[in-house]
């Protein structure tokens, strides 16, 4: 299998896992994807208190995507060296 495909798959799976593991806020729950991906840039009024949670959620999602990409690279490298 192509190593690039495994890397992209790892990034997507890692990003999805990171999005699911984002922190929740009392009385609100987990923030929606649009709020997370913009790091809370569109929040107004009292919702601005949630900007730090949106930034933390974005960071978790990015780190998980990077770890997933690294794992995809490792699997691709392992499969290529076995041939």
Give which of 42, 39, 81, 79 is closest to 61, Cα–Cα: 39
Q: What confidence category does residue 75 fall into, taking pLDDT thresholds of 50, 70 and 90? A: very high
For the residues 46-50, what does the mean pLDDT come to?
A: 91
Q: Are 12 and 68 in contact (CB under 8 A)?
A: yes
For the residues 74-80, what does the mean pLDDT come to?
A: 90
For residue range 9-47, list pLDDT tens digits in order: 999 999 999 999 999 999 989 999 999 999 999 999 999
Give which of 78, 48, 61, 55 is closest to 21, Cα–Cα: 61
Q: How many helices (H) and strands (E) are present in the chain, helices listed first?
A: 3, 2
Q: What confidence category does residue 51 fall into, taking pLDDT thresholds of 50, 70 and 90? A: very high
């Amino acid at each position: 299998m192509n190593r690039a495909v495994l890397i992209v798959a790892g990034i997507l799976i890692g990003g999805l896992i990171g999005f699911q593991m984002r922190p929740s806020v009392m009385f609100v729950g987990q923030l929606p994807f649009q709020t997370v991906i913009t790091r809370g840039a569109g929040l107004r009024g009292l919702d601005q208190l949630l900007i730090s949670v949106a930034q933390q959620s974005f960071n978790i999602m990015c780190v998980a995507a990077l770890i997933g990409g690294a794992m995809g690279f490792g699997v691709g490298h392992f499969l290529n060296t076995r041939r």
